[in-house]
Structure 1
């Protein structure tokens, strides 16, 4: 049975009572009186001895819930009561050697118990203070991080606006316009990846779900309709650095497919992230059902910016990239499972 919530409530109640010393001392006296009356009540049923039977729990519970001071008060009252009424000779504070040893042992045991409880509560109080400081620091970090992401998004939007402005100025130069459009498109892709990666709702999202939603967003922004997106992922989670790189790779390939494979039609885009049988490597595969690569075209040696970008991403994963035509363009990147 899970006792976590119960213990938390007990420690919480003890912390509250320790903030109210007057109530704590009143509880100490009450606990002592209840222990004393109980001891008188069971006296006829007990064999000789057991003078402290009901006083131990009263002292320990008082010290636990109310603090060292009330616990010490309950202990002193209990020692005096047990000594006077339940240790021979009864109804007096006289002691023989045997009784004196018994009283000393009772005092020693109570002192050790009170010391242990005091140390435990002091350590718990220190832990609570550290937890409070950690929560405050975490909230500050979250606030600063959110502000950083907001500023990053604003900067991306500003750069995109600058690119659009310069593209309009170069409307009579098709190659320049195309370069600005390509840069603007990649910036838009980075902004989409950034927004999704650092969305708090995406933190615990499986990679398969994350990639499916990202691709739907990228294809949707391209204006292509009727594209069937299929994602097959054997890897549940990736660290944020490699997930960022994988996101940029599949987004770049999805944009290329939207331009060349799905031009004027719908189609099918398949993305898989598979684990090797020995678990040592992952293979990222992106396939479309378009015409594929032209005959004799080797993307790995192409000077096109898109393929240079993909090669750079593959190297950042310590991976190897391969291209082929198999019912469409197929791109594969194999990289180590461990970063």
Structure 2
């Protein structure tokens, strides 16, 4: 399980609270003028209370609050208006002392406004980084759940495969070694397909070259040097679960063609083709120019493990599997373009 991100620090939450207000420039400038007026009125009210030498006492808070809540521009406007009012009303005379007081005021408000602006900029960057982190957490959670689902499906498929091969071994113990070799080969194929599909460097899988690579691996493993495999695929978008099932189906059918379509040393071609059938379905066709099946042959009627595996994989794709034999064997799968939602 993934952990939730900790709560944002207080200053970031405070900056977030002012974000909408700082985006409304006209309102911010209006608030700056209002804050200046309120500070001026308060300073007038305190003329008889405060001793001389505090002309900016009520203006500093107005500038700081305006800059914090309304942004850089309104803060500068409030600082300028406050300085002019303090200079014209609360700083008597002129000369060196007046210039010193105004310089002191300008430095203080400039530092305050600059620090507040830097703080908001830093908060903005933190918000963006936090948004990215939250997105990564969400993606990690989704990917983790999807991985669990895939692993469960794969284990279930392997368990079913081993159960079918166990039944074959029980029915004919003399074939036990060969059946175990077949199981080992199929498990190695599943492992190879998963490594290829989950390679981080191949996140956007082009189905045609990918299946051509898989078919070439099957040919190399079988030692059928005289047989070639031609893959012709239209660009298609399949999620990894469905692409895994499609890959295993292609491998199984190509392997069956190598076993049964061609004699020892016989040359031939296996064609793997996928085209849109209509707006909602694809048609996958795997054909060979080998010896074909006899007229009364029915793969689904016997105890063919390979055909039952193919039927199970077709069911995972919500597809329908058919076959024909005319100058070779052709197996056709029609399946929807999109998986279950």
- How much does 1:333 deviate? 1.0
Q: Determine the structure 1 residue equivalent to 2:272.
A: 271
| CA RMSD across the alignment | 4.6
CA contact (8 A) 1:228 1:267 kept: yes
Higher relative contact order structure (alpha carbons within 8 Å, sequence separation ≥ 6): 2
1:126 aligned partner = 127
What is the distance in 1 between the residues matched to 2:320 and 2:149?
Answer: 33
Deviation at 1:283, TM superposition (A): 0.9
**In the alignment, what sits opposite 1:338?**
338
Matching residue of 2:253: 253
CA distance, structure 1, for counterparts of residue 321 and residue 136 of structure 2: 44
User: 2:225 maps to which residue?
Assistant: 225
Distance 1:227 1:188 in 2: 22
> Normalising by the residue count of structure 2, what TM-score does the alignment of the two structures yield?
0.56
Residue 333 of structure 2 corresponds to residue 312 of structure 1 = no
Of 88, 92, 102, the match for 1:92:
88
Partner of residue 323, structure 1: 323
1:1-339 equivalent positions in 2, closer than 5 A: 74-81=76-83, 92-93=88-89, 125-135=126-136, 174-265=174-265, 266-276=267-277, 278-339=278-339
Aligned partners of 1:249 and 1:313 also within 8 Å: yes
Distance 2:198 2:135 in 1: 22
Q: Is the 8 A contact 2:238 2:338 kept in 1?
A: no
In 1: Cα distance, 2:147 partner to 2:322 partner: 38
In the alignment, the residues of structure 1 paired with residue 248 and residue 72 of structure 2 have an alpha-carbon distance, to the nearest angstrom, of 64
Deviation, 1:134, is: 3.9
Partner of 2:30: none
Write out per-residue CA displacement over residues 194-239 of structure 1, whole angstroms, 9 at most, x where no aligned residue: 2222122332021112111111122212222143221121242211
Q: How many residues align?
A: 242
Give the structure-1-normalised TM-score. Answer: 0.57
| Cα contact 1:67–1:118 (8 A) shared by 2 | no
Distance change in 2, residues 1:140/1:316 (3 Å): closer
Structure 1 stretches of at least 4 aligned residues deviating more than 6 Å after TM superposition: 66-73, 115-121, 139-150
Structure 2, gaps ≥5 residues long: 1-11, 16-62, 91-115, 160-172
Q: 1:316 to 1:221 in 2, by over 3 A?
A: same
Q: Within 1, Cα distance between the matches of 2:123 and 2:318? A: 51
